[in-house]
Amino acid sequence: MTTTKGYLTTHVLDTALGLPASGMHIDLFYLDGDRHIFIRSLVTNDDGRTDSPILPSDEFRQGVYELVFKAGDYLQENAPAQDTPLFLSDIPIRFGMNDLDAHYHVPLLLSPFGYSTYRGS
């Protein structure tokens, strides 16, 4: 059996408030063709990070993944003056991981009307 060193993390920052996005629910899926295979759900802590890697080394494998950030629920609690329906709700970010020994970091920079992401470190 081959041991990998790769793992996946995330970090969510609320750019409108200038703070980490605490309490945001995030789902992780592995994509196999048209199938979305649910892996796990985690919640961000006070630093806007999850307490453990979203995908630890012992579960890491190459492929296409999708993180679904439950931004609508977070925004309703932290920016309640918005009209409904909210402009942003669930934010899916699809990405590929091919290096079995790499740390993949997929952060989300969020405001009520926009977001961005990138491959971080």
pLDDT tens-place string over residues 89-120: 999 999 999 999 999 999 999 999 999 999 99
Give the separation between CA 67 and CA 4, rounded to whole angstroms: 21
Nearest one of 11, 9, 39 to 24, comparing CA atoms: 11
**Which segments of the chain does DSSP mark as H helices, in order?**
71-78
Residues 26-73: tens digit of each pLDDT: 999 999 999 999 999 999 999 999 999 999 999 999 999 999 999 999
This prediction has a pTM of 0.93
Spell out the domains of the chain, with CATH numbers in brackets. 7-117 (2.60.40.180)
DSSP-assigned beta bridge partners for residue 104: 8
Q: Where are the beta strands (DSSP E) in the chain?
A: 7-9, 12-14, 19-20, 25-32, 35-43, 63-70, 90-97, 103-105, 108-111, 114-117
